[in-house]
Structure 1
Protein backbone atom coordinates (compact mmCIF):
# COMPACT_ATOMS: atom_id res chain seq x y z
CA UNK A 1 0.00 0.00 0.00
CA UNK A 2 1.08 3.57 -0.71
CA UNK A 3 0.22 6.58 1.41
CA UNK A 4 0.29 9.94 -0.42
CA UNK A 5 0.42 13.02 1.81
CA UNK A 6 0.28 16.54 0.41
CA UNK A 7 0.33 19.85 2.29
CA UNK A 8 -0.86 23.04 0.61
CA UNK A 9 -0.19 26.65 1.61
CA UNK A 10 -2.44 29.08 -0.21
CA UNK A 11 -1.60 32.62 -1.26
CA UNK A 12 -2.98 35.49 0.75
CA UNK A 13 -6.55 36.54 0.01
CA UNK A 14 -8.37 39.85 0.46
CA UNK A 15 -10.10 38.50 3.56
CA UNK A 16 -10.05 35.46 5.84
CA UNK A 17 -13.59 34.64 4.68
CA UNK A 18 -12.51 34.58 1.04
CA UNK A 19 -9.60 32.29 1.89
CA UNK A 20 -11.80 29.94 3.93
CA UNK A 21 -14.35 29.74 1.10
CA UNK A 22 -11.58 28.75 -1.34
CA UNK A 23 -10.21 26.19 1.13
CA UNK A 24 -13.67 24.63 1.48
CA UNK A 25 -14.08 24.55 -2.32
CA UNK A 26 -10.72 22.77 -2.67
CA UNK A 27 -11.59 20.33 0.14
CA UNK A 28 -14.88 19.40 -1.50
CA UNK A 29 -13.24 19.01 -4.91
CA UNK A 30 -10.56 16.71 -3.52
CA UNK A 31 -13.01 14.63 -1.49
CA UNK A 32 -15.17 14.12 -4.59
CA UNK A 33 -12.24 12.39 -6.33
CA UNK A 34 -12.90 9.18 -4.34
CA UNK A 35 -16.21 8.62 -6.16
CA UNK A 36 -14.61 9.21 -9.56
CA UNK A 37 -11.16 7.58 -9.39
CA UNK A 38 -11.32 3.89 -8.38
CA UNK A 39 -7.56 3.78 -7.73
CA UNK A 40 -8.11 5.80 -4.54
CA UNK A 41 -8.58 3.39 -1.63
CA UNK A 42 -9.18 6.17 0.88
CA UNK A 43 -9.01 9.94 1.05
CA UNK A 44 -8.92 12.47 3.88
CA UNK A 45 -8.78 16.22 3.47
CA UNK A 46 -8.32 18.52 6.44
CA UNK A 47 -8.35 22.28 6.81
CA UNK A 48 -5.80 23.62 9.26
CA UNK A 49 -7.40 24.64 12.56
CA UNK A 50 -4.28 26.39 13.86
CA UNK A 51 -3.55 29.66 12.00
CA UNK A 52 -0.04 29.77 13.53
CA UNK A 53 0.97 26.77 11.43
CA UNK A 54 2.39 27.08 7.93
CA UNK A 55 0.10 24.96 5.75
CA UNK A 56 -3.62 25.45 5.12
CA UNK A 57 -4.82 22.10 3.72
CA UNK A 58 -3.68 18.51 4.20
CA UNK A 59 -4.53 15.71 1.77
CA UNK A 60 -3.97 12.04 2.59
CA UNK A 61 -4.80 9.30 0.09
CA UNK A 62 -4.01 5.60 0.04
CA UNK A 63 -3.45 3.47 -3.03
CA UNK A 64 -2.82 -0.22 -3.64
CA UNK A 65 0.53 0.45 -5.34
CA UNK A 66 2.59 3.09 -7.16
CA UNK A 67 0.82 2.33 -10.45
CA UNK A 68 -2.52 3.23 -8.86
CA UNK A 69 -0.99 6.41 -7.44
CA UNK A 70 0.25 7.31 -10.92
CA UNK A 71 -3.17 6.61 -12.45
CA UNK A 72 -4.76 8.87 -9.83
CA UNK A 73 -2.20 11.62 -10.37
CA UNK A 74 -2.78 11.62 -14.13
CA UNK A 75 -6.57 11.25 -14.07
CA UNK A 76 -8.30 14.15 -15.87
CA UNK A 77 -10.50 14.97 -12.87
CA UNK A 78 -7.47 15.11 -10.57
CA UNK A 79 -5.66 17.31 -13.08
CA UNK A 80 -8.69 19.61 -13.16
CA UNK A 81 -8.77 20.15 -9.38
CA UNK A 82 -4.96 20.46 -9.39
CA UNK A 83 -5.26 23.36 -11.82
CA UNK A 84 -7.72 25.12 -9.50
CA UNK A 85 -5.33 24.62 -6.58
CA UNK A 86 -2.29 25.87 -8.52
CA UNK A 87 -4.09 29.16 -9.22
CA UNK A 88 -4.05 29.99 -5.50
CA UNK A 89 -1.05 27.93 -4.35
CA UNK A 90 1.95 29.48 -2.66
CA UNK A 91 3.68 26.28 -1.57
CA UNK A 92 3.20 22.52 -1.75
CA UNK A 93 4.96 19.69 0.03
CA UNK A 94 4.46 15.98 -0.64
CA UNK A 95 5.62 12.57 0.54
CA UNK A 96 4.69 9.09 -0.72
CA UNK A 97 5.58 5.99 1.28
CA UNK A 98 4.84 2.29 1.50
CA UNK A 99 3.07 0.98 4.57
Structure 2
Protein backbone atom coordinates (compact mmCIF):
# COMPACT_ATOMS: atom_id res chain seq x y z
CA UNK A 1 0.00 0.00 0.00
CA UNK A 2 1.12 3.54 -0.76
CA UNK A 3 0.14 6.75 0.99
CA UNK A 4 0.18 9.82 -1.26
CA UNK A 5 0.30 13.12 0.63
CA UNK A 6 0.33 16.49 -1.12
CA UNK A 7 0.46 20.00 0.36
CA UNK A 8 -0.49 23.12 -1.56
CA UNK A 9 0.34 26.75 -0.85
CA UNK A 10 -1.79 29.32 -2.65
CA UNK A 11 -0.63 32.77 -3.73
CA UNK A 12 -0.61 35.30 -0.90
CA UNK A 13 -2.20 38.06 -3.02
CA UNK A 14 -5.31 35.99 -3.63
CA UNK A 15 -8.35 37.66 -1.97
CA UNK A 16 -9.63 35.62 0.99
CA UNK A 17 -13.06 34.97 -0.52
CA UNK A 18 -11.58 33.80 -3.83
CA UNK A 19 -9.03 31.64 -2.00
CA UNK A 20 -11.75 29.95 0.05
CA UNK A 21 -13.92 29.39 -3.03
CA UNK A 22 -11.05 27.77 -4.97
CA UNK A 23 -10.13 25.60 -1.99
CA UNK A 24 -13.74 24.41 -1.62
CA UNK A 25 -14.02 23.66 -5.36
CA UNK A 26 -10.76 21.68 -5.27
CA UNK A 27 -11.86 19.70 -2.20
CA UNK A 28 -15.20 18.83 -3.83
CA UNK A 29 -13.55 17.80 -7.11
CA UNK A 30 -10.88 15.63 -5.47
CA UNK A 31 -13.25 13.93 -3.04
CA UNK A 32 -15.53 13.02 -5.97
CA UNK A 33 -12.73 11.09 -7.70
CA UNK A 34 -13.15 7.65 -6.06
CA UNK A 35 -16.41 7.23 -8.01
CA UNK A 36 -14.47 7.85 -11.23
CA UNK A 37 -11.00 6.36 -10.56
CA UNK A 38 -11.15 2.80 -9.26
CA UNK A 39 -7.52 2.63 -8.02
CA UNK A 40 -8.19 5.15 -5.21
CA UNK A 41 -8.60 3.29 -1.91
CA UNK A 42 -9.08 6.41 0.25
CA UNK A 43 -8.88 10.15 -0.37
CA UNK A 44 -9.57 13.28 1.61
CA UNK A 45 -8.75 16.96 1.38
CA UNK A 46 -8.17 19.14 4.43
CA UNK A 47 -8.37 22.91 4.28
CA UNK A 48 -6.10 24.65 6.76
CA UNK A 49 -7.92 26.61 9.46
CA UNK A 50 -4.74 27.83 11.19
CA UNK A 51 -3.45 31.03 9.53
CA UNK A 52 -0.14 30.65 11.40
CA UNK A 53 0.74 27.62 9.24
CA UNK A 54 2.39 27.79 5.82
CA UNK A 55 0.28 25.38 3.75
CA UNK A 56 -3.33 25.93 2.68
CA UNK A 57 -4.47 22.49 1.50
CA UNK A 58 -3.53 18.94 2.50
CA UNK A 59 -4.49 16.02 0.27
CA UNK A 60 -4.25 12.53 1.77
CA UNK A 61 -4.84 9.39 -0.28
CA UNK A 62 -4.12 5.66 -0.27
CA UNK A 63 -3.43 3.29 -3.17
CA UNK A 64 -2.45 -0.35 -3.55
CA UNK A 65 0.79 0.50 -5.40
CA UNK A 66 2.91 3.31 -6.81
CA UNK A 67 1.66 2.26 -10.25
CA UNK A 68 -1.87 3.05 -9.08
CA UNK A 69 -0.69 6.49 -7.92
CA UNK A 70 0.69 7.05 -11.42
CA UNK A 71 -2.60 5.90 -12.99
CA UNK A 72 -4.48 8.36 -10.76
CA UNK A 73 -2.06 11.18 -11.57
CA UNK A 74 -2.74 11.09 -15.31
CA UNK A 75 -6.46 10.31 -15.18
CA UNK A 76 -8.40 13.09 -16.97
CA UNK A 77 -10.69 13.75 -14.00
CA UNK A 78 -7.71 14.16 -11.66
CA UNK A 79 -5.97 16.43 -14.17
CA UNK A 80 -9.13 18.55 -14.39
CA UNK A 81 -9.29 18.85 -10.59
CA UNK A 82 -5.64 19.91 -10.51
CA UNK A 83 -6.33 22.64 -13.04
CA UNK A 84 -8.59 24.32 -10.48
CA UNK A 85 -5.40 25.35 -8.65
CA UNK A 86 -3.25 26.07 -11.72
CA UNK A 87 -3.54 29.86 -11.63
CA UNK A 88 -3.56 30.29 -7.85
CA UNK A 89 -0.95 27.75 -6.68
CA UNK A 90 2.31 29.12 -5.34
CA UNK A 91 3.91 25.85 -4.26
CA UNK A 92 3.35 22.11 -3.94
CA UNK A 93 5.04 19.41 -1.86
CA UNK A 94 4.46 15.68 -2.19
CA UNK A 95 5.47 12.47 -0.45
CA UNK A 96 4.61 8.91 -1.52
CA UNK A 97 5.51 6.17 0.93
CA UNK A 98 4.72 2.52 1.48
CA UNK A 99 2.98 1.31 4.60
Give per-residue Cα distances to partners, 1:24-44, cap 9 Å, x unaligned: 111111111111100000001
Q: Distance in 1 between the 2:85 and 2:32 partners?
A: 15
Q: Which residue of 2 aligns with 1:68?
A: 68
Q: Which residue of 2 aligns with 1:30?
A: 30
Structure 2 portions without partners, runs of 5+: none
Alpha carbons 2:4, 2:62 under 8 Å: kept: yes
Q: What SS does structure 2 have at the residue aligned with 1:86?
A: coil
Alpha-carbon shift at residue 17 of structure 1 (Å): 1.6
Scaled by the length of structure 1, the TM-score of the pair is 0.94
| Structure 1 moving runs of 4+ over 4 Å | none
Give per-residue Cα distances to partners, 1:19-69, cap 9 Å, x unaligned: 111111111111111111000000011000101100000000100011111
Alpha-carbon shift at residue 95 of structure 1 (Å): 0.2
The total of aligned residue pairs comes to 98
Scaled by the length of structure 2, the TM-score of the pair is 0.94
Kindly indicate whether residue 5 of structure 2 is the aligned counterpart of residue 5 of structure 1: yes
Q: Which residue of 1 aligns with 2:84?
A: 84
Q: What SS does structure 1 have at the residue aligned with 2:40?
A: coil
Structure 1 portions without partners, runs of 5+: none
